[in-house]
Structure 1
């Protein structure tokens, strides 16, 4: 059987996975190949229109009720006499591997997280962790582990409603998900990072897995790379329900002094507890800094977003209204007036981070948010919620030194309190050294998408052309 030039890309379902996978499709298709982006049908509206109309990208929608069987049917119907060049599989979808192994399609495992978190989780999963060549100060502290484990217990991870097919559910994980151990059948690994940011971690992973590891990021939209040095228009990412338009947000930022606004957002999938949200609200009320606070539907509720896997059962429909509402900081808008902008729902994050009035980012330190802030030169105040985010926060504060972490003063309750947040905001907004280093790191990306990452995409395709 011969090989076609098609490259299949299979993402996981959260925005932090869909967006970089979509951008990866464009990068790979620029090398005389066609990218086939395979997504569950209920996520079609989450994909930007420019991807749907890209001349070298094809979006294939498969019924989410049985994704595994749908992919098998797609492969047998489309590739009867040839096979795709290779398939890129998000590591959170790694149990789809048997389908592609049976079809004799080379597999590339894709980590949408950074190389630091990937390397540290791999090292920590070993009986005797060995960290040759890795920077110090990145590993989780005892307090980090306590906070992570408490949040995991509190979330109670609601069962996913996406049926991948027989024996194709999400892999079970121990204290740390051992994704690296499940990539043995992969021909190569790719990571959403670049040598300029994480060279020691990429080098470590290459030495450990004994197969090629390519840094192909940061996988940000074309609108970002074309707008470096100015405010990015976030139109390439599909907007959702929100109480402020992108233009209204930019106008509000225009009214604030340079570097005076702290941006607060925990992404679309995780966040603090309701009690910690109350502490955050009090901190924002009492700080003198201007702020933008993005609050997602269902904020403060345990488990992943209700619409992440698609479909609802009857019990979920009954409490949908309550779940969508989530946490709201009642009375805060009246207390702070024009000093604060509270966005309920979708926010134009790249527009906010690239605006000169934004001087700091209070973040959960998910990798996409982390790298977006770094590329925009915005110092980060890390408030990690789950596993890999602790490594990202430690890397930001201890290795790159472009931010700080929220320091938890109450080690007994391991809960973030008002004074912890206020202290962190002051630290990240008033530390000139951190600000200078953040701006210096941004300089790496002023020429656009890193040349090392473009070379990695080309090298990946050349490597797999021999398989």
Structure 2
């Protein structure tokens, strides 16, 4: 550590889609030795961090009260205790030197006021991509929420292929979720007239940081910077260092992302199964840990995989309540592998036998697939996933929608899914386009993102002696 190393706080929200990017951001910030970082997280998330991360000499872990979901209200006792814990950490720092800044996951925006009490400027961090934020902002400003079925509306300043359609705004059930989950967690895009829910959460920030890169989302990054008139840094994708190895090598998830749940298959068994399949032949089907098909939709998905001729891996989430029927294993034989519980997603996506990914289009899953050259069959369920899918299908043209948004009854889903699987797995042009995108990452972490990190470092150091100005 250099004698002049300054401290940066990184504040993460709950969920792997927030925790993993925040930990990788810490790694990137301390890589030069010019900064030390303090990762602020609920204490119940500590077990999700790999030991190699915890023992870095430039990293400090600051634990606050445990929470299973982001606290939403000032009156929330959990938030109040978290706030007291954060103030205690900052009081200790103030006795030495105040942190240079705090990079705050916007879902933890309530912490801004505590940092400001200690004169610490705040950068708002989006763990998802710039296209989703740009589309939500543009849809709000252009009143796209008022469009009707059959209408198309282009957003000035954004690519024409990302024009808003009625299907983009349509809601659908979000599958198995806790009954006490905040309503905003179940939403689709904002309703007509609504401003994006993140807008008030970033107010007062002196800049914005996105978990993306210019190679994937250049026009959307520029749009956000222009519309909000603030510095914007694209510093991702914030994926493990092992991910950036040569594209023909596998990534062993368990070493870098401790699993939350058990799996009924060992790592060796999954690798052996994949090794026996032809190159690019396997469809990987997974929905992450927080959303998924409904109880009525899961059987239609399973039926589509049965009727398809393609080899597949299906990951069934813990708590989904779905179990394959007794005859499914006999019907699919060695063609399918059904994993109940945790699956090594990075390893599966990096294996040469994997040729497609049926995904909910969570941002981490989306960039993990693109970076490994795997086309996507998109089944978005909520929030940013809807615009992530649009980016994949309409702008990057490296996949298809699994369902058209107006497919009718649940019983019609199976036929649509079978058709979508076949289109994805047989489309050589989509495969070529995603392979071309993958080459952007062949030399490791994107150079444009390295430059953005350097720009951020220079910016925040220049603010050190000045009183920070809140973004209006």
Instruction: Give the TM-score range, shorter chain.
Output: 0.7 to 0.9
Q: CA, structure 1 residues 45+227, in 2 after alignment: closer, same or farther (shift >3 Å)?
A: farther
Residue in structure 2 matched with residue 329 of structure 1 by the alignment: 324
Residue in structure 2 matched with residue 133 of structure 1 by the alignment: 157
Q: Which stretches in structure 1 are left out of the alignment for 5+ residues?
A: 161-168, 300-325
Residue in structure 1 matched with residue 279 of structure 2 by the alignment: 258
User: Is contact 2:62-2:89 (8 Å) kept?
Assistant: no
Residue in structure 1 matched with residue 468 of structure 2 by the alignment: none
Residue in structure 2 matched with residue 39 of structure 1 by the alignment: 41
Structure 1 residue 414: deviation in Å? 7.1
Structure 1 residue 459: deviation in Å? 1.1
Q: CA, structure 1 residues 140+383, in 2 after alignment: closer, same or farther (shift >3 Å)?
A: farther
Residue in structure 1 matched with residue 172 of structure 2 by the alignment: 150
Residue in structure 2 matched with residue 225 of structure 1 by the alignment: 244
- Of 70, 73, 76 in structure 1, the residue corresponding to residue 91 of structure 2 is 76
Structure 1 residue 333: deviation in Å? 2.3
Map 1:274-313 → 2, pairs under 5 A: 274-299=295-320
Deviation string, structure 1 residues 1-44 (Cα, Å, up to 9, x no partner): xx971111111111111111110000011231011111111111
In structure 1, the residue corresponding to 2:160 is in which secondary structure? Answer: coil
- Of 198, 204, 207 in structure 1, the residue corresponding to residue 226 of structure 2 is 207
Q: CA, structure 1 residues 410+142, in 2 after alignment: closer, same or farther (shift >3 Å)?
A: closer
Structure 1 residue 137: deviation in Å? 3.3
Residue in structure 2 matched with residue 270 of structure 1 by the alignment: 291
Q: CA, structure 1 residues 225+380, in 2 after alignment: closer, same or farther (shift >3 Å)?
A: same
In structure 1, the residue corresponding to 2:133 is in which secondary structure? Answer: helix
How many residues are aligned here?
A: 428
In structure 2, the residue corresponding to 1:150 is in which secondary structure? Answer: coil
Q: Write the distance in 1 (CA, Å) between the matches of 2:51 and 2:393.
A: 37
Map 1:17-416 → 2, pairs under 5 A: 17-31=18-32, 32-64=34-66, 65=78, 66-126=81-141, 128=143, 131-146=155-170, 149-151=171-173, 158-159=180-181, 175=191, 177-234=196-253, 235-240=255-260, 241-299=262-320, 326-331=321-326, 332-408=328-404, 411-413=407-409
Q: Write the distance in 2 (CA, Å) between the matches of 1:33 and 1:238.
A: 26
Residue in structure 1 matched with residue 466 of structure 2 by the alignment: none
User: Is contact 1:83-1:105 (8 Å) kept?
Assistant: yes
Structure 1 residue 372: deviation in Å? 0.4
Q: Write the distance in 1 (CA, Å) between the matches of 2:425 and 2:47.
A: 37
In structure 2, the residue corresponding to 1:359 is in which secondary structure? Answer: strand
Q: Which stretches in structure 2 are left out of the alignment for 5+ residues?
A: 67-77, 145-153, 464-472
Q: Write the distance in 1 (CA, Å) between the matches of 2:160 and 2:405.
A: 23
Deviation string, structure 1 residues 280-326 (Cα, Å, up to 9, x no partner): 01001111111001111112xxxxxxxxxxxxxxxxxxxxxxxxxx2
In structure 2, the residue corresponding to 1:73 is in which secondary structure? Answer: helix
Q: CA RMSD in A?
A: 2.3
Q: Runs in 1 of length 4+ with deviation above 6 angstroms?
A: none
User: Is contact 2:167-2:405 (8 Å) kept?
Assistant: no
Q: Write the distance in 2 (CA, Å) between the matches of 1:460 and 1:409.
A: 40
In structure 2, the residue corresponding to 1:448 is in which secondary structure? Answer: coil
Q: CA, structure 1 residues 117+131, in 2 after alignment: closer, same or farther (shift >3 Å)?
A: same
Q: Write the distance in 1 (CA, Å) between the matches of 2:131 and 2:411.
A: 26
In structure 1, the residue corresponding to 2:315 is in which secondary structure? Answer: strand
Q: CA, structure 1 residues 152+270, in 2 after alignment: closer, same or farther (shift >3 Å)?
A: closer
User: Is contact 1:375-1:442 (8 Å) kept?
Assistant: yes
Q: Write the distance in 1 (CA, Å) between the matches of 2:163 and 2:383.
A: 11
Structure 1 residue 81: deviation in Å? 4.2
Residue in structure 2 matched with residue 458 of structure 1 by the alignment: 454
Q: CA, structure 1 residues 144+123, in 2 after alignment: closer, same or farther (shift >3 Å)?
A: closer
In structure 1, the residue corresponding to 2:312 is in which secondary structure? Answer: strand
Q: Which moved more, 1:426-435 or 1:331-340?
A: 331-340
Q: Write the distance in 1 (CA, Å) between the matches of 2:356 and 2:142.
A: 39
Q: Write the distance in 2 (CA, Å) between the matches of 1:107 and 1:82.
A: 16
Structure 1 residue 78: deviation in Å? 2.9
Q: Which moved more, 1:218-227 or 1:436-445?
A: 218-227
Q: What TM-score do the two structures reach when normalised by structure 1?
A: 0.87
Structure 1 residue 409: deviation in Å? 7.7
Q: Which moved more, 1:222-231 or 1:364-373?
A: 222-231
Structure 1 residue 426: deviation in Å? 0.3
Q: What TM-score do the two structures reach when normalised by structure 2?
A: 0.86
Structure 1 residue 227: deviation in Å? 4.1
Residue in structure 2 matched with residue 315 of structure 1 by the alignment: none
Q: Write the distance in 1 (CA, Å) between the matches of 2:25 and 2:415.
A: 41
Structure 1 residue 413: deviation in Å? 4.0
